[in-house]
Amino acid sequence: MTRVGVAGLGYWGPNLARNFDELAELAWVCDLDAEHRDRFAARYPGARATASVDEMLADESLDAVVIATPVPTHYALAKRSLEAGKHVLVEKPPAMRSVEMDELVRIAAASDLVLMPGHLLLYHPGVVKLKELIADGELGEVLCVYGNRQNLGIVRTNENALWSLGVHDLSVILYLLDEDPDVATAQGRDFLTPGVEDVVFCFMRFPSGKIAHMHLSWLDPHKMRRMTVVGREKMVVFDDMELERKVTVYEKSPWKRAETYGEWQTRSGDIFIPKISTDEPLRLECRHFLELVEGRGDRAKVARDGARVVRALEMLTRSLGS
């Protein structure tokens, strides 16, 4: 059974520890904070507890490391873990700069190790359905995609809305379109904390001509977790706030009637709600990681997809700062 160590047991790490305890052998729990460490050492008596990632990495029988520490620590911890010969699942984004991410991808490829970013939404059955609808040609040519991730709060003070909220939607948009943007611009304002943008609008254009937009904000009256894909034949909305209609497919499209001399008409047909499984996306993400570690699936693809997200994030961040 794959032996896994989890570093970082704050808010998110415990969810990863729970899943790996159930799906694999949770061999180590690691956190700098003694209180967090002690709590999880008690919960998982079969796992060894440490404050030192290096002590955990020195265990030759450990196969894989899961990193759920704060973002600025990801690159260095992932690099050390790969260099110690461990497979790595690292929370998003694995690095803050694309040169760092490219280095991680190179090290992983050279040692045939898994480097998987924790892009949770890519495992959401609703997002998988969007991808299926696009890949099967159901929507016709995809023209544009936009994400809404808004709410009132939580007001962050050390990460702006692009980094805190945008990485999720960015990973979904790039997964759906499977292209790198050639234009990626962002505009925002730091209304509450100087230097930390609370509201960010992003625009991307892709070589195929498709365009995308993200509205990211914690200063908004609506709680929205929504992704809309507009195709020439049909349009589809993934709404994670909905319980029973996560995905809605609209048979709506523009068309031209021959007798109106090329004037555009619109067509509104049926509205279809496909059944979406309620499987926990994190469980599916952890399972996929273990499959890759066991040699099934495309190891290079998850690393490449992660690098694409960091590249686009870097373009947006540069634009936001200028």
Ligand X SMILES: NC(=O)c1ccc[n+]([C@@H]2O[C@H](COP(=O)([O-])OP(=O)(O)OC[C@H]3O[C@@H](n4cnc5c(N)ncnc54)[C@H](O)[C@@H]3O)[C@@H](O)[C@H]2O)c1
Of 9, 57, 130, 173, the residue at the interface with ligand X (CB under 6 A) is: 9
Residue 50 CB, nearest approach to ligand X (Å): 9
* Identity of the residue numbered 273: I
For residues 116 to 145, the per-residue mask of contacts with ligand X, x marking binding by CB under 6 A and - elsewhere, is --x-x-------------------------
For residues 60 to 89, the per-residue mask of contacts with ligand X, x marking binding by CB under 6 A and - elsewhere, is --------xxxx-x----------------
Of 51 and 99, which CB lies nearer to ligand X in the complex structure?
Answer: 51
Residue 140 CB, nearest approach to ligand X (Å): 32
Pick the piece of the chain touching ligand X (CB under 6 A) from 30-38, 133-141, 179-187, 189-197.
Answer: 30-38
Strand order of the β-sheet with 3-7 is: 48-50, 25-30, 3-7, 64-67, 87-91, 115-118
31 binds ligand X (CB under 6 A): yes
101 binds ligand X (CB under 6 A): no
Chain residue whose CB lies nearest ligand X: 10
For residues 201 to 230, the per-residue mask of contacts with ligand X, x marking binding by CB under 6 A and - elsewhere, is ------------------------------
Select from 296, 154, 120 the least CA-distant residue to 223: 154
Of 33 and 298, which CB lies nearer to ligand X in the complex structure?
Answer: 33
- Asked if 61 and 38 count as a contact pair (C-beta separation under 8 A), the reply is no
Of 10, 85, 207, 269, the residue at the interface with ligand X (CB under 6 A) is: 10
161 binds ligand X (CB under 6 A): no
* Identity of the residue numbered 217: S
Residue 256 CB, nearest approach to ligand X (Å): 44
Pick the piece of the chain touching ligand X (CB under 6 A) from 10-18, 38-46, 175-183, 239-247.
Answer: 10-18
Residue 36 CB, nearest approach to ligand X (Å): 5
303 binds ligand X (CB under 6 A): no
Residue 74 CB, nearest approach to ligand X (Å): 6
36 binds ligand X (CB under 6 A): yes
7 binds ligand X (CB under 6 A): yes
SS (H, E, C) the chain: CCEEEEECCCCCHHHHHHHHHHHCEEEEEECCCHHHHHHHHHHCCCCEEECCHHHHHCCCCCCEEEECCCHHHHHHHHHHHHHCCCEEEEECCCCCCHHHHHHHHHHHHHCCCCEEEECHHHHCHHHHHHHHHHHCCCCCCEEEEEEEEEEECCCCCCCCHHHHHHHHHHHHHHHHHCCCCCEEEEEEECCCECCECCEEEEEEECCCCCEEEEEEECEEEEEEEEEEEEECCCEEEEECCCCCCCEEEEEEEEEECHHHCCCEEEEEEEEECCCCCCCCHHHHHHHHHHHHHCCCCCHHHHHHHHHHHHHHHHHHHHHHHC
Residue 68 CB, nearest approach to ligand X (Å): 5
Of 47, 53, 64, 249, the residue at the interface with ligand X (CB under 6 A) is: 53
Kindly tell me the sign of the dihedral angle through the C-alpha atoms of 100, 105, 106, 111. positive
Residue 287 CB, nearest approach to ligand X (Å): 15
Select from 149, 142, 220 the least CA-distant residue to 177: 142
Residue 35 CB, nearest approach to ligand X (Å): 9
Of 5, 8, 94, 117, the residue at the interface with ligand X (CB under 6 A) is: 8
Interacting residue ranges for ligand X, rule: CB under 6 A: 7-13, 30-33, 36, 53, 68-71, 73, 91-92, 118, 120
